[in-house]
Structure 1
């Protein structure tokens, strides 16, 4: 009986020791976590600065793109594609777009004719149409020998560019049937595009 009582007492002491050890461990761990939290400073979210996106204003004096114009001599299969939907002129070769120009094609009632054409022999530095009271610089004919042209944004009777019309470039079909371009684009076309270059208007 005495041995049995001692055994029970030992077991009881061992059990109590385990409980104390577990309890002490939990208290110690909780204290450690509390101390760790006290050392960590709360991170405040940084204020986000809103950046205003400003649309780049069209400069109808300059080339439509920042990249260089293609060298015509290096592109024997160069073609011109005019999109009346997108108000763009694309210089293409074998399906690849080499350069994109902002344009303004014929308005309703004066639509630019659609179809397949070619750059014709007629071209010039300036013209003025007294009937429409508009002219332009750097023109190149692509249909009816001087009737349908690529040319700069329009000028008035004194030769000054019409700003309100020029600012519609790339946005609105607003010409009398010709294809308006920036001054730089029209000048490049006048100086570089080869006669008989295919032109597609769609």
Structure 2
């Protein structure tokens, strides 16, 4: 009788053990499926975000209008504004922390051979700078026979600027130079932007905003 009880008890324990293993495997499979689904969802979302950002760039480039078809960012809602200029890709990015919130077509300094290193170097200084208080609606440099509208200084208090595509002595835009916007280098060191982008920067960019220039 006792032996029968032991056999029944052993069978009961075996059934419980088998049921427990089955439940564990099922839970693990569900967790793996959930993780895979989450990964796929994130990947799709990232692709959609990237595609959405690219699709908002104005094409073909219009040097008179904003670079993106969406509205400019509301800086009152931006917590950590800074700017990155990529001289090689001819783009200027507005960031809020680690996130790009607006992209502008731009044109940086011409590359020339550095006599000291023998390497090609942009006429635009690279490094980290900060927006300065000097800004205005227009200027003209008689020595360079070139001017621009809507300028904002970021180095040497008026020497290196964000500004519109260049203007001639009579104030008209130099269309040949304007056509380089977002496509190639061309300036003497400043960062050229579209007329609309330069105007927005001049009117909205806070003094002290970090500007990182690479290239």
TM-score when scaled to structure 1?
0.71
Residues 127, 212 of structure 2: 8 Å contact kept: yes
1:90: which partner in 2?
A: 93
State the 1:80 CA deviation. Answer: 0.6
Separation in structure 1 between the aligned mates of residue 70 and residue 123 of structure 2, nearest angstrom: 30
Separation in structure 1 between the aligned mates of residue 133 and residue 149 of structure 2, nearest angstrom: 16
Indicate whether 1:100 and 2:103 are aligned.
Answer: yes
Indicate whether 1:148 and 2:160 are aligned.
Answer: yes
Spell out, residue by residue over 1:3-39, the C-alpha distance to the aligned partner (whole angstroms, 9 max, x if none): xxxxxxxxxxxxxxxxxxxxxxxxxxxxxxxxxxxxx
State the 1:58 CA deviation. Answer: 2.0
User: Would you identify which runs of 4 or more consecutive aligned residues in structure 1 move more than 3 Å?
Assistant: none
Separation in structure 1 between the aligned mates of residue 61 and residue 133 of structure 2, nearest angstrom: 31
Of the candidates 121, 124, 133, which is equivalent to residue 112 of structure 1? Answer: 124
1:139: which partner in 2?
A: 151
Separation in structure 1 between the aligned mates of residue 96 and residue 185 of structure 2, nearest angstrom: 26
2:181: which partner in 1?
A: 169
State the 1:76 CA deviation. Answer: 2.7
The DSSP-based 3-state class of the residue aligned with 1:103 is strand
State the 1:66 CA deviation. Answer: 0.4
The DSSP-based 3-state class of the residue aligned with 1:161 is coil
Structure number with the higher helix fraction is 2
2:204: which partner in 1?
A: 192
The DSSP-based 3-state class of the residue aligned with 2:176 is helix
Indicate whether 1:68 and 2:71 are aligned.
Answer: yes
Spell out, residue by residue over 1:36-81, the C-alpha distance to the aligned partner (whole angstroms, 9 max, x if none): xxxxxxxxxxxxxxxxxxx943211000000111011111310010
Rg (Cα) greater in structure: 1
State the 1:94 CA deviation. Answer: 1.3
2:7: which partner in 1?
A: none
Residues 61, 182 of structure 2: 8 Å contact kept: no
User: What CA RMSD, in Å, does the superposition of the two structures yield over aligned residues?
Assistant: 1.2
State the 1:108 CA deviation. Answer: 1.7
2:54: which partner in 1?
A: none
Gaps of 5+ in 2: 1-57, 113-121
Separation in structure 1 between the aligned mates of residue 65 and residue 59 of structure 2, nearest angstrom: 13
